[in-house]
Structure 1
């Protein structure tokens, strides 16, 4: 079984901490946000070095952007990782 499989990423919405997070092998990666009315400001994407290179950061950003779309929110990509992801995936530009 491949431990690096992207399908194994289980992302949860921690509303109290205002972030989407996933824990793999006791390491937690997350994308945090601030809510301003109907806008979500995605300010930090944190993936521990131990989880790097597995697509976890991209999975977190995709999940966060899909959440914004499903909830009719606009997005401010304050985090450069989020901004770069949107540049590479133009289907999300309408959220900005």
Structure 2
């Protein structure tokens, strides 16, 4: 499924609302490095690929802006490990 993930730059997070439930990927940005700190998808909407879509949006944004990525979040680290095309972004 292709979702139009929202990038909330003021809150430094990527967001998606599904069935009235908010899912997020939080990050910090310093010196051109995006540190992904948390991916949160509530259980009520889990298993729908939302975390993957949030992570993909974050990584594509990092690439577009020339940022490196430090995945502190275990989900984001595993996602990058499974998707070779993003491994060049690792800080």
Please state how far the C-alpha of 1:50 moved relative to its aligned partner: 1.0
Please state how far the C-alpha of 1:10 moved relative to its aligned partner: 2.4
Please state how far the C-alpha of 1:16 moved relative to its aligned partner: 1.3
Match of 1:64 in 2: 58
> Can you give the 5+ residue segments of structure 1 that lack an aligned partner in the other structure?
1-5
How many angstroms apart in 1 are the aligned matches of 2:7 and 2:31?
A: 18
How many angstroms apart in 2 are the aligned matches of 1:64 and 1:41?
A: 10
Please state how far the C-alpha of 1:32 moved relative to its aligned partner: 0.4
Q: SS of the counterpart of 2:66?
A: coil
How many angstroms apart in 1 are the aligned matches of 2:51 and 2:74?
A: 12
Q: Does 1:83 align with 2:77?
A: yes
| Greater than 6 Å deviation, 4+ residue runs | none
> Can you give the 5+ residue segments of structure 2 that lack an aligned partner in the other structure?
none
Tell which structure's C-alpha radius of gyration is larger: 1
